Structure 1
Amino acid sequence: MSVEPRDGTGWSLRPLCQFPDERGAVMHMLRATDPHFEAFGEIYFSTIREGVVKAWHMHRSKTVNLAVPIGEVAVVLWKQDAEPKEFMLGREAYGLLTIRPGVWYGFRGIGAGESLIANCATEPFDPAEGDDLPPDTDHIPYRWEAA
């Protein structure tokens, strides 16, 4: 997993630390002392079942920070005039995916059963702040793999 520069792509991916032992594991996500920390708005968790697609969403003002501590999820990002970018996030590829305003994103559950997505956003939820499109929209040049 590599760290992508903040070069106008609207996203970055940073590896995260895990500390496993015989009892389980501690898994870092985001600290107020991290140089890439911006602000705290809310933290929430969502689940996605294997083969299910949740797409597309885009925020106008808030940044989201995603990690997948349980299961495995394909995350696809798209920004106007760029190629879609796909990431696999999960326990084996544990990282923090930061998505800035203006970037469309969606998820597909690829881990067996349910996967858990943690989201630390810079602003609390506001339904008027974002936009949604259906998974099969012609607006975004990406086709989700059939389940």
Structure 2
Amino acid sequence: MIKGVIYKKLIKHCDDRGTFMEIIREDEGILEQFGQVSASMSYPGVIKAFHYHKLQDDVWFFPVGNAQVVLHDLRQDSPTYRHTNVYYMGEENPSILLIPRGVAHGYRVLGSKSVIIVYLTTKAYQADQPDEYRIPYDDPEIGFDWSTKFR
């Protein structure tokens, strides 16, 4: 696992009224501070990758649909420098993922249903100084193959 990444399986409480999940709590120590909560929807087959931040950490949660999430460590001082991790998140695997600053991240929508991602950040977005640095999804230095392999 890439150093500093936290992956937490969520507990879904069910009864005859529906379901309830705590996603993240301040007493878990996952985020050192809170900046913003946002949500985004992506259509089936879409790849949103890669980007990273120099100042903020992210927590990702997919309440609708399913996604393949890919992380790549760009932190030169990290013992997991240039390591890549893959996570499968969404309705079929409710979980959260802490993505530390300096770790490139992106996702691919799986299946025929759109996904919704809810993400929390330690800093609020600043349009005049965005903390977002883009890398193409097919960057040869990362070298990740986004295609699904059938066995």
* Structures share fold, TM-score greater than 0.5: yes
Query: Separation in 2 of the partners of 1:27 and 1:100?
Result: 23
Query: Separation in 2 of the partners of 1:58 and 1:10?
Result: 14
Query: Separation in 1 of the partners of 2:57 and 2:48?
Result: 18
Which portions of structure 1, spanning 4 or more consecutive aligned residues, are displaced by more than 2 angstroms? Answer: 20-24, 80-83
* % same residue: 26
Point out the structure with max Rg over C-alpha.
Answer: 2
1:140 counterpart (129, 139, 142) = 142
Query: Separation in 2 of the partners of 1:107 and 1:22?
Result: 33
Cα distance per residue 1:13-40 (max 9 Å; x no partner): 0111211223322122111122323211
> Relative to structure 1, is the Cα distance of residues 125 and 111 closer, same or farther in structure 2, using a 3 angstrom cutoff?
farther
Residue 57 of structure 2 contacts residue 99 of structure 2 at CA under 8 Å; is this kept in 1?
yes
Aligned residues: 140
Residue 74 of structure 1 contacts residue 107 of structure 1 at CA under 8 Å; is this kept in 2?
yes
Q: What one-letter code is carried by the residue in structure 1 that aligns with 2:106?
A: G
Query: Separation in 2 of the partners of 1:45 and 1:63?
Result: 16
Cα RMSD, aligned residues only: 1.8
Structure 1 residues 83-102: aligned runs within 5 Å: 83-102=83-102
1:111 Cα offset (Å): 3.7
Aligned-partner SS, 1:33 = helix
Normalised TM-score (structure 1) = 0.86
Residue 10 of structure 1 contacts residue 102 of structure 1 at CA under 8 Å; is this kept in 2?
no
Unpaired segments of 5 or more residues in structure 2? Answer: 75-80
Greater displacement, 33-42 / 101-110:
33-42
Unpaired segments of 5 or more residues in structure 1? Answer: none
